[in-house]
């Protein structure tokens, strides 16, 4: 385990209370007193004994009694807890709706881009196919390969390739 020192004034301890095992209250140190006080396994009698040993725990228990005796405090606490739960639920809902909207917009944009790209590709292929048909027609009309190449601004090898690829098609069309 790596230790990083943040400050000389503060120590932070992470303890999982359900895994913490309470021992004899008389043999506990101050930190263990607090862990015992916060543990759900500690009885009310044991909490009273802790309060007698530690004045800070006694003050907390007195504040807890005052809090629990005041219905307005309890109501305010419950309303605050409800507010926090509602805010968390709204945030989760907003994130979910935002994701769905973003996803839908992305699909729409992607679809539109795909259509545009498909159209452009289709047009380019159509233009190429029309060019090849014209080359075949010129060849059928006995135009020399050199003249066809010059007319379409391509080299002779490309003209010959198109003619060879489309010989059957040229004969049929």
Residues 104-154 pLDDT 10s: 888 888 788 877 887 888 788 888 888 888 899 999 899 999 999 998 899
Q: Any idea how long the chain is?
A: 173
Mean pLDDT of 6-24: 80
- Closest residue by Cα to residue 46 from 16, 23, 21: 23
pLDDT tens per residue across span 33-86 = 998 998 888 899 999 999 999 999 999 999 999 989 999 989 999 999 999 999
Question: Mean pLDDT across the stretch 2-8?
Answer: 73
Backbone angles phi, psi at 86, to 5 degrees: -60, -40
What's residue 111's pLDDT? 80
| Maximum distance among all Cα pairs of the chain, rounded to whole angstroms | 116
Q: Does 11 score more than 60 pLDDT?
A: yes
Rounded CA gap, 51 and 172, in Å?
104
Beta-carbon count within 10 A of 136 CB: 20
């Amino acid at each position: 385990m790596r230790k990083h020192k943040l400050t000389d004034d503060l120590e932070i301890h992470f303890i999982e209370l359900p895994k913490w095992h309470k021992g004899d209250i008389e043999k506990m140190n101050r930190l263990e007193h607090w862990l015992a006080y916060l543990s759900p396994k500690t009885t009310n009698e044991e909490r009273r004994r802790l309060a007698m040993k530690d004045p800070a725990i006694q003050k907390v228990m007195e504040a807890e009694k005052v809090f629990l005796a005041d219905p307005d405090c309890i109501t305010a606490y419950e309303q605050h807890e409800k507010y926090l739960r509602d805010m968390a639920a709204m945030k989760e809902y907003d994130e979910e709706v935002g994701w769905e909207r973003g996803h839908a917009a992305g699909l729409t944009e992607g679809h539109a881009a795909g259509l545009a790209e498909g159209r452009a590709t289709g047009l380019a292929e159509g233009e190429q196919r029309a060019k090849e048909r014209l080359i075949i027609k010129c060849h059928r009309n006995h135009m020399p390969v050199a003249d066809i190449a010059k007319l379409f601004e391509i080299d002779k090898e490309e003209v010959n390739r198109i003619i060879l690829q489309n010989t059957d098609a040229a004969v049929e069309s």
